[in-house]
Amino acid sequence: MMSDAGAVGGPYTHFGRKCNSRRDSNVYFGRFANRQERDIIPNPHVSTPGGAPGGRSRAEVYANKSARSAMGRRPEENKAWRRLVAFFWTMVVLAAAFAVWFFVTPSGTSVRYRLADAIITTQHREYAKYLIGEEGLRERVAAYAQQFKDMGEEKDTHEIALPADAPREDETAATDPLTSIEEVDGKGFHGYLLTVSDPTKIRLVVPAKAGKGEKVPSMVKRTGAIAGVNAGGFADPNWQGNGFQPIGLVITQGKIYYNGLGKNSSTQIVGLDKNGKMIAGHYSIKELMDLGISEAVSFEPRIIVNGKGLIKNHANGWGIAPRTVMGQRADGKILFLIIDGRQIGYSIGADLYDCQQIMLEHGAVIAANLDGGSSTVLVKEGGELVNKPSSKGEGGRYLPTAFLVFDDPASVDVPNIWAGLTPQDIDPGKW
């Protein structure tokens, strides 16, 4: 005899599930029926074959709802979505096109190397490798070093009208101010040009005390100078140097105050002889002494010699940065060019080709680069800043040297703070 479970002597079974008792069977069947009811949604508009209301599964409802939602989306939403997709693919195409231009084409490569040069002039030189590669960075630095050396080799033959011999033909000439400052502007940069009518009024000044450098505003105020600019470079470990250890030579009043050349007997020099004639280029110490050098520091490169520029174009301009350049006109007047930089919205800086062209436009027959970057500073009487240095500290950085202008330079005492010291005795990173 068949049991209610559908099997003789066996457990109750419902829909393939075995139950131990009729009670368990009834409980399970009730749960299954409830679940089925939940999954069927009555639709009063649809009839079953027997005339009872029909229904749809929950999955069908959700699918139809999504379809109605898509069909019922407002036209504005569809347009916004299409614009977003179009914008995305436009950006992808533009990025790909830019990459091809930047890394493959000659014009893009030129821009890429100019950007790398700008980075090389900063404290993050190593980042330039991401633009030109590590090998490219090494080659670029080496190429500039050789280029700067070559630019200092040509013999300078320029002559100037010495202040003591220059005729004063009219009252206007006789009343030329000792210093004058004018603003200069170019593509992406702003700066100043300091003109000194008598080059013999310029002295190279050093810090008052040993142990660290001195800010140029402090030097100007302390010595009573009329104006001043930064001069030579210095050892700057991790770009946190104390400004006390110069690079190369420091000469003031015709005497060598500091010699960091080591075994080398020559250097790239920027300075003035005792008559006020500017000397710039590659010279040995003996040659400098024979020329009657008076005030000078080691730096490079010389960018103008015998009235002609040595830098061919922007591509060879050694990147964009704050700049300090010294030059001289045929009438003997000294020009100090100060270009601010690294300040977006005000002045990002200039390359050496920019500086060269400005100096040529103002009549320079010789010109050379001085320390730039965060050292670039122009100060007038009383220690007042004229430019906007890119350095973090107020008044610029602590420096070892500055070219200052005086009414009576002979009355200025410049002590030798490096007397008795060798480069090995100085810790440029100790404050």
Interval 220-256: pLDDT, tens = 999 999 999 999 999 999 889 999 999 999 999 999 9
Q: Determine the pLDDT at residue 55.
A: 54
| Res 107: pLDDT | 87
Q: Is residue 113 within 8 Å of 320, Cβ to Cβ?
A: no
Q: What is the reported pLDDT for 158?
A: 92
The verdict on residue 93 lying in a domain is no
Q: Residue 221: inside a domain, yes or no? A: yes
Contact 301, 151 (CB under 8 A): yes
> What one-character DSSP code corresponds to residue 49?
T
What mean pLDDT comes out for the span 88-97? 94
Task: Tell me the average pLDDT across 17-44.
Answer: 49
In a domain, 154, yes or no: no
The rounded mean pLDDT for the chain is 85
* pLDDT confidence band for 41 (50 / 70 / 90): very low
Judge whether 36 lies within some domain. Answer: yes
**pLDDT at res. 67:** 54
Identify the pLDDT of residue 32: 45
Give 183's contacts (C-beta < 8 A, 6+ positions apart): 190, 191, 192, 193
Question: 365: pLDDT confidence band, cut at 50, 70 and 90?
Answer: very high
Asked, for residue 413, whether it belongs to a domain, the answer is: yes
Average pLDDT over residues 333-340: 98
Number of domains forming the structure of the chain: 2
Q: For 158-186, what is each residue's pLDDT tens digit?
A: 998 866 555 555 544 457 899 999 999 99
* C-alpha distances out from residue 241 to 212, 226, 376, Å: 9, 28, 16
Instruction: Name the token pair of 173.
Output: 């000439």
Q: Which H or E element spans position 33?
A: helix 22-39
Instruction: Read off the pLDDT band of 342 (50, 70, 90).
Output: very high
Nearest to 372 by CA among 236, 261, 221: 236
Highest mean pLDDT among 82-96, 100-114, 135-149, 279-293: 279-293
Bridge partners, 191 (sequence order): 184, 339
- Higher local confidence (pLDDT), 31 or 239: 239
Structural domain including 285 reads 160-419
Token output for 289:
């002494």
Q: Are residues 59 and 167 in the same domain?
A: no
What is the rounded distance in angstroms from the CA atom of residue 200 to the CA atom of residue 188? 34
Q: How far apart are CA 292 and CA 135, in angstroms?
A: 43
DSSP 317-361: S--SB-EEEEEEETTS-EEEEEE--SBTTTB--B-HHHHHHHHHH
Structure confidence at residue 252 (pLDDT): 97
Q: Is residue 86 part of a domain?
A: no
Question: Residue 85 is encoded by which pair of tokens?
Answer: 């997709």
Residue matched to tokens 């100007």: 220
pLDDT at 68: 53
When computed from its CA atoms, the radius of gyration of the chain, rounded to whole angstroms, is 40
Task: For residue 390, name the pLDDT band (cuts at 50, 70, 90).
Answer: very high
Same domain, 60 and 186: no
Q: Taking 70 as the threshold, does the pLDDT of residue 85 lie above it? A: yes
Residues 188 and 305 in one domain: yes
In a domain, 402, yes or no: yes
What's CA 40's distance to the chain center, in Å?
Answer: 70
In this predicted structure, what is the pLDDT of residue 37? 47
CB 319 within 8 A of CB 297: no
Residue 299, pLDDT above cutoff 70: yes
Q: Please determine, for residue 5, whether its predicted confidence score (pLDDT) is greater than 80.
A: no
